[in-house]
Amino acid sequence: MANGMYNGARDGFLLGQIDLEGDQVVAFLIDLDLYTPDLVNHSSLADVPEGARVAVQTLTGCSVAAGAFDADDVTWPTVTHSGDVGAVLLVVLNSDDAASPLLALFDTDDSLPFTPAGTDFTVVWDNGINKLFRI
C-alpha cells in the first residue's frame, strides 16, 4: 500500500464535519498483520480491530494553512507489542469508535515497519509544502 487519505475523511472535510484544529486528532501505531486498510470502504475506528491498535498519542500543535494539515512531531513512549508496527493511522477521536472518523494512513515512512521493543518511537512529519497531508 502507500500513504493515503480515507474517502470518508474527504467527504467529512467537504461537508464541514471535520475540524482539524478543533477536534481531537490522534495517531495510532498499527499492526498491518492485524488490519488490512481499505481507504475506500473503511470510515471509522470501528473498522480497525482493537488488536491492531498498538499505541495512541494525541497530536498537538494542529494547524491548517494553504490546504495542508500540520502537527507537532509525535513520540509514543516505551512501545511494546508482539508483532511489527507497519503504519501510522490518523483518526478524529470522538465518543466511541463508530463516531471516530479515519483520516489518513501512513506506511511508507523510512522507520516503518519496526518491531517494538519497549523503546520510544518518534515520527517526524514532513516539513515540506504537503505537511501531514494536503487537500
Q: Rounded to an integer, what distance in angstroms lies between the CA atom of residue 41 and that of residue 26?
A: 20
CA angle 89, 44, 74 (to 5 degrees): 25
Is residue 68 included in any domain, yes or no? yes
**What tens digit of pLDDT does each residue of 72-126 get?**
999 999 999 999 999 999 999 999 999 999 999 999 988 899 999 999 999 999 9
Number of domains in the chain: 1
The reported pLDDT for the residue numbered 27 is: 98
Is residue 132 included in any domain, yes or no? no
Is residue 64 included in any domain, yes or no? yes
Is residue 135 included in any domain, yes or no? no
Is residue 133 included in any domain, yes or no? no
The reported pLDDT for the residue numbered 2 is: 77
* Widest Cα–Cα separation across the chain: 41
**Reported pTM:** 0.96
**What tens digit of pLDDT does each residue of 3-44 get?**
999 999 999 999 999 999 999 999 999 999 999 999 999 999
**What tens digit of pLDDT does each residue of 50-69 get?**
999 999 999 999 999 999 99
The reported pLDDT for the residue numbered 1 is: 64
Task: Give the DSSP per-residue string, the chain.
Answer: ---EE-HHHHHHHHTT---TTTS-EEEEEE-TTT----TTT--BGGGS-GGGEEEEEE--S-EEETTEEE---EEEEEE--SS-B-EEEEEE--SSGGGSBEEEEE---TT-SB---SEEEEE----STTSSEE-
Q: Which three cell numbers stand for residue 61?
A: 500543535
Q: Which of 33, 66, 50, 48 is nearest to 103 (CA)?
A: 48
The reported pLDDT for the residue numbered 109 is: 84
Residue 8 sits in which domain range?
Answer: 4-127
